[in-house]
């Protein structure tokens, strides 16, 4: 973070800024704000892989039975398989 202080909180670190906003509401400072334009580039961190329809159905059924999402169960299995492959 730059050495300059945050405009509203007068903080000089992210930790101090976080502590300030934990204790304050933006409504207290709304009149001191100004509009800004931000350009944000979001890139997905998820890769998608095709799964056979029948396998997907079985995965969904088992995941429901175990009380987790199919996404979670599949990722757990892949982690285990990849860990076993390294050994």
Least confident of 30-34, 56-60, 79-83: 30-34
| Distance between CA atoms of residues 27 and 19, nearest Å | 17
Token reading at 26:
């933006």
| Distance between CA atoms of residues 46 and 66, nearest Å | 24
Residues above pLDDT 90, as percent of the chain = 57
DSSP state of 45: -
- What pLDDT is attached to residue 12? 85
- What pLDDT is attached to residue 47? 82
- What pLDDT is attached to residue 60? 96
- Provide the 3-class DSSP secondary structure of residue 28: helix
Domain boundaries, the chain: 1-33, 53-86
Alpha helices in 1-87 (DSSP H): 14-23, 53-66, 70-86
Q: pLDDT (tens digit, 9 = 90+) per residue, 60-83?
A: 999 999 999 999 999 999 999 999
Q: Which residue has the tokens 């009149």?
A: 31
Q: Is the pLDDT of residue 17 over 70?
A: yes
| Distance between CA atoms of residues 42 and 32, nearest Å | 29
């Amino acid at each position: 973070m730059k050495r300059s202080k945050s405009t509203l909180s007068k903080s000089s670190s992210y930790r101090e800024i976080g502590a300030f906003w934990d204790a304050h509401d933006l409504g207290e400072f709304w009149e001191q704000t100004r509009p800004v334009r931000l350009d944000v580039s979001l890139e997905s961190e998820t890769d998608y892989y095709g799964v056979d329809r029948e396998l997907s159905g079985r995965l969904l059924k088992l995941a429901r039975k175990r009380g987790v999402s199919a996404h979670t169960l599949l990722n757990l299995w892949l982690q285990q398989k990849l860990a076993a492959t390294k050994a």
